[in-house]
Amino acid sequence: MSDSDDREFTPAESVCPFCGVGCGIRYDPDSGGARGWRGPVNTKGEVCPKGVAAWDVVDHPDRLTAPLVREDGDLVETTWDDALDRVESAFGSVVAEHGPDAVSVFASSNCTNEENYVLQKCARLLGTNNVDNCARLCHSSTVAAMRDRFGAGAATNSLDDLREADALLVVGANPAENHPVIFRSYILPALRAGATMIHVDPRETATTAGADVHLQVRPGYDISLLNALAAVVVGDGLVDEAFCADRVDGLAAFERFAAGLDVDEEAARAGVDTADIRAAAHAYATADRAAIVTGMGVSQHHYGTATVHALLNLALLTGNVGRRGTGVNPLRGQNNVQGASDVGALPDRLPGGRPVTDPDARAAVADVWGVAPDDLPADPGLTEVEATHAFGDDVRAAFVLGENPAVTEPNAGRVADALDALECLVVQDLFRTETADHADVVLPGSAWAERGGTVTNTDRQVIRMRPNAAPPADARRDLDVLCDLGARLTGRPEAFDYDGPEAVFEELTAATPPYAGMSYAGIDTGSQRWPFPAGADEGTAVLHRTTFANGNRRTPLRVVDHVDPADAVGDDDLVLTTGRVIEHFNSGALTRRSDRLVRMRGDETLQIHPDDAEVLGVADGDQVRIENDRGRTTAVAEVTPAVRPGTVFATFHTLAPLANALTGDTLDPVAKIPEYKHSAVRVRVVTTDGAE
Ligand SMILES: Nc1nc2c(c(=O)[nH]1)N[C@H]1C(S)=C(S)[C@@H](COP(=O)(O)OP(=O)(O)OC[C@H]3O[C@@H](n4cnc5c(=O)[nH]c(N)nc54)[C@H](O)[C@@H]3O)O[C@H]1N2
Ligand SMILES: Nc1nc2c(c(=O)[nH]1)N[C@H]1C(S)=C(S)[C@@H](COP(=O)(O)OP(=O)(O)OC[C@H]3O[C@@H](n4cnc5c(=O)[nH]c(N)nc54)[C@H](O)[C@@H]3O)O[C@H]1N2
Ligand code: SF4
Ligand SMILES: [Mo]
């Protein structure tokens, strides 16, 4: 039953709960759904189909409306007092017996800066740095490489800049489906004005439609491809010598490395034509302003950080950093994946990106929090997948805010066992998710339209959300629940006594240097962008203009060698890569509940090339079984030349196929991101009754 009868809905400018574009949306009384307003990013009020469907989850009959606790194996409704008492007592015993590092906290890129700030404060005052958010699973490798070389792990340029680019190198990203308003309102205008686009993707997607050159790379072989591009830049005299002399170290050594590469060999290993590599290198390097747009195809490998380093080499060699229309621009995941990390929901970083190991940084944060510097833990905590692997062992209790790891973490069979190995799992969500099915306590939180607060979008703009409704029945605002938990778990009620989200924002701007000086009033219905120098109105659009964000004028080029994917691919195997479609979002917890989105796209399919389909006897529409040593799942075959021969593609938006039953959990050594984009699998036809 819908609860719309007993709740009042009032339109107020808020932000779409889905992707990192950060479109302004609000309740629309005329349609009874959501609608765009002229926000700082969607300046004409434009939204994609998910933005329109965003209201469907606010007013959905499946919403959790009371806390649940496990009794005799089942989850049953209870009061808030009982649920929070149980969390307090279970976490209290774990800490008493095993210490605070036996607790792990998953923060949420789907939640606001204020909520993430309060949650990481709670973890740290409890005594652990075991707090992370699912930035770990998307751009942690990008952030690691960019922070290392540029001093800041964020988009170097603004979205406005993309419109001014003469060339766009889009690598392992599908903005037409995953950041639709960026594609339509920022990338297409550049293409219409004559910009050249190079698209690097093993599949032809809606994004490829705008490309002049499509490099259909073998999944996992981007380093070879990027090195081949760099070798052409060096070999054909396309290096920006003046820029390199001024801003770059190690040019001579890098040129020796590039000269030693055989472009044909690297291209062949990457599975692309040398002629296309040459055309792409010339288009990128000879453009006056060339911008890189990068996504999961680059970042989600166990050598994701190394791949991003290879990408940064290209931008530096060609002088495409520090000017409008250039740069390296990761398109971020959820509406607040940038902000969750900015405000400290990371195991090695305090608010503002300062290392937990830095005593001065700890002292500065402790000062804002009114505690002694020694009260803050100094050792880096566990990242998300590392924490999951420690469940039942070093980690005994976990709190998961707005994430669905049972569906989204790699090697789902292992994740399910890990969740069950915990002494206490607490999940705070809108719905009874697959992860909640493993929980001991489930807390009903608030949807996008039921909260105030701020989120930070993909080009570092801090934007405000405003409540359009109260949470349904006994569900509560996430921030209020987190403040209650903080007070109970840390024994420091005064540290969590805030008069609403604006008060939290004021404190977090004091604890997060790039946000210093921002305010709710200043943001209003626009945005404030970090870094936000004193006296600035809108913040800095182009980073690294005269010095990199670490204060250095120069940064090194980095020699990067090809690394093999973790899975060996046998003669009978195909390579599964995974990703997204426009209608659905991540684990599908929200979008699978929207009738209008499910009508637009119902079945989940496995894209397979006609050549492979023929060998395997698979016809379009057949049920296929996909399996490897880690697990198995089924899907409907979509036989299409859009995917590279030898490669198959599925989304991870549903339980069938549950793509992550098949993915491996080898982690990048630097960023600890898993290998979502390369798994060896066997594909077989099954009849409708499941027989082979
Ligand atoms: N509609 C929709 N939008 C979303 C999301 C969603 O679930 N649905 N999720 C949001 C989130 S959390 C994120 S992080 C972003 C991600 O946005 P994107 O980075 O665009 O995400 P993906 O679709 O996972 O991957 C992009 C492309 O990489 C290609 N690819 C696969 N393997 C490789 C490879 O080895 N090399 C290269 N070069 N390419 C490869 C895939 O074919 C795919 O087209 O999207 C956000 N926006
Ligand atoms: N195979 C494969 N797996 C992948 C990826 C891939 O490309 N391939 N991509 C990875 C990436 S980039 C990401 S970011 C992760 C995403 O992984 P998750 O973050 O686990 O995925 P979501 O579906 O976004 O989960 C969000 C959960 O938060 C809940 N929620 C949404 N809004 C709110 C709110 O306001 N309050 C509360 N309390 N709860 C809320 C939703 O109901 C949902 O259960 O998946 C990763 N997994
Ligand atoms: S582009 Fe992203 S932020 Fe904008 S409406 Fe679509 S899903 Fe929402
Ligand atoms: Mo993501």
Which of 14, 18, 458 has the most ligand 3 atoms within 8 A of CB, as the residue to mutate? Answer: 18
Confidence of residue 349 (pLDDT cuts 50, 70, 90): very high
pLDDT in tens, 16-43: 999 999 999 999 999 999 999 999 999 9
Residue 680 pairs in a beta bridge with 575
Report residue 6's pLDDT band, with 50, 70 and 90 as the boundaries: confident
Q: Could you tell me the distance, in angstroms and rounded to a whole number, from the CA of residue 290 to the centre of ligand 2?
A: 32
Q: Which ligand is nearest to the CA of 673?
A: 2
pLDDT at residue 657, rounded to an integer? 83
Q: Where in the chain is the domain with CATH 3.40.228.10?
A: 140-330
Q: Is 15 near ligand 1, meaning CB less than 6 Å away?
A: no
Contact 295 CB / ligand 1 (< 6 Å):
yes
Q: What number does the ligand 3 atom closest to the CA of 19 have? A: 2
The token pair at 34 is 């959501």
Pick the closest to residue 424 from 78, 88, 67, 132 (CA basis): 88
Q: CA–CA distance from 189 to each of 181, 182, 206 (Å)?
A: 12, 10, 16
pLDDT, mean of residues 624-650 = 97
Q: Helix (H, G, I), strand (E, B), or coil: what is residue 394?
A: coil
- Residue 3 clears pLDDT 50, i.e. is over it: no
What is the average per-residue pLDDT within 663-675? 98
User: Does pLDDT of 10 surpass 60?
Assistant: yes
List the single range of 45-49, 141-145, 316-320, 528-532 with lowest mean pLDDT. 528-532
CA angle 183, 187, 191 (to 5 degrees): 130
pLDDT band of residue 5 (cuts 50, 70, 90) is low
Question: How much is the average pLDDT of 156-178?
Answer: 97
* Span from the CA of 179 to the centroid of ligand 3 (angstroms): 7
Q: Is the CB of 21 under 6 A from ligand 3?
A: yes
Domain with CATH 3.40.50.740 in the chain: 68-137+360-520
**Mean pLDDT in residue range 599-611:** 92
Q: Using the mean position of ligand 4's atoms as its centre, give its distance from the Cα of residue 20 in Å.
A: 9
Ligand in closest contact with the CA of 403: 2
Ligand nearest to the CA of 334: 1
Count of helices and strands (H, E) across the chain: 27, 26
pLDDT of residue 2: 45
Q: How high is the pLDDT of residue 603?
A: 76
Interacting residues of 631 by C-beta distance below 8 A, sequence separation 6+: 411, 412, 413, 658, 661, 662
Distance 523 CA to ligand 3 centre (A): 20
Q: Is 201 touching ligand 1 by the criterion CB < 6 Å?
A: yes
Rounded Cα distance, 145 and 141, in Å: 6
Is residue 122 classed exposed, middle or buried when 0-12, 13-18 and 19+ CB atoms within 10 A define those classes?
Answer: buried
Q: Which atom of ligand 3 is nearest to the CA of 47?
A: 5
| Cα 89–chain centre separation | 33
The pLDDT of residue 1 is: 38
116 vs 286: CA distance, rounded Å: 43
Task: Say whether pLDDT at 535 is over 70.
Answer: no
Q: Please give the distance, rounded to the nearest whole angstrom, from the Cα atom of residue 596 to the centre of ligand 3.
A: 16
Q: Is 659 in the pocket of ligand 1 (CB under 6 A)?
A: no
- When pLDDT is cut at 50, 70 and 90, the band that residue 534 belongs to is low
Three-state DSSP class for 577? strand
Report pLDDT for 4: 47
Structure tokens at 550: 């670490």
CATH level 3 topology of 68-137+360-520 = Rossmann fold (3.40.50)
Tell me the pLDDT tens digit for each residue of 205-234. 999 999 999 999 999 999 999 999 999 999
691: Cβ–Cβ under 8 A, 6 or more apart, which residues? Answer: none
Measured in angstroms, how far is the CA atom of residue 598 from the centroid of ligand 2?
Answer: 18
Q: Is the CB of 173 under 6 A from ligand 1?
A: yes
How confident is the model at residue 34, as a pLDDT?
Answer: 97
Ligand 3 centroid – CA 136 distance (Å): 21
| Average pLDDT value for residue range 460-487 | 98
Question: And the tokens for 498?
Answer: 């805030």
pLDDT class of 655 with cuts at 50, 70, 90: confident
Residue spans in the chain of domains classed CATH 2.40.40.20: 574-685
Give residue-wise pLDDT tens across range 257-279.
Answer: 999 999 999 999 999 999 999 99
Compute the average pLDDT of residues 399-416.
98
pLDDT surpassing 50 at residue 453: yes
Cβ neighbors of 283 (< 8 A, separation 6 or more) are 167, 196, 198, 212, 213
CA–CA dist 627, 402 (Å, integer): 29
| Residue recorded with tokens 């010339």 | 282
Domain 140-330 has CATH 3.40.228.10: yes
Taking the whole predicted model, whether its pTM rises above 0.85 is answered as yes
pLDDT tens for each residue of 54-80: 999 999 999 999 999 999 999 999 999
Closest-CA residue, ligand 2 atom 19, reads 403
Q: Amino acid identity of 238?
A: L
The 10s digit of each residue's pLDDT in 427-447 is 999 999 999 999 999 999 999
**Confidence band (pLDDT; 50, 70, 90) for 242?**
very high
Q: In this structure, which CATH number among 2.40.40.20, 1.20.1740.10, 3.40.50.10860, 3.40.50.12280 belongs to the domain 574-685?
A: 2.40.40.20
Regarding beta strands 574-579 and 647-651, do their DSSP bridges make them parallel or antiparallel, or are they unpaired? parallel
Q: Whose CA is nearest to atom 30 of ligand 2?
A: 402
Distance 403 CA to ligand 2 centre (A): 5
**Cα 85 from Cα 92, distance rounded (Å):** 10
**Average per-residue pLDDT for the chain:** 96
| Ligand 2: centre distance to CA 590 (Å) | 9
Cβ contacts of 498 within 8 Å, gap of 6 or more: 118, 479, 483, 504, 507
Query: Which of 404, 584, 604, 679 has most ligand 2 atoms within 8 Å of CB, for mutation?
Result: 404
Q: What percent of the chain has pLDDT over 90?
A: 96
Q: Is the CB of 647 under 6 A from ligand 1?
A: no
- Residues with CB under 6 Å of ligand 2 are 17, 110-111, 134, 137-138, 296, 300, 333, 401-405, 408, 428-431, 433, 445-448, 478, 578-579, 586-587, 589-590, 652, 659-660, 663, 676
- Look at residue 302 and give its three-state secondary structure: coil
Instruction: Identify the band that residue 692 occupies on the pLDDT scale cut at 50, 70 and 90.
Output: low
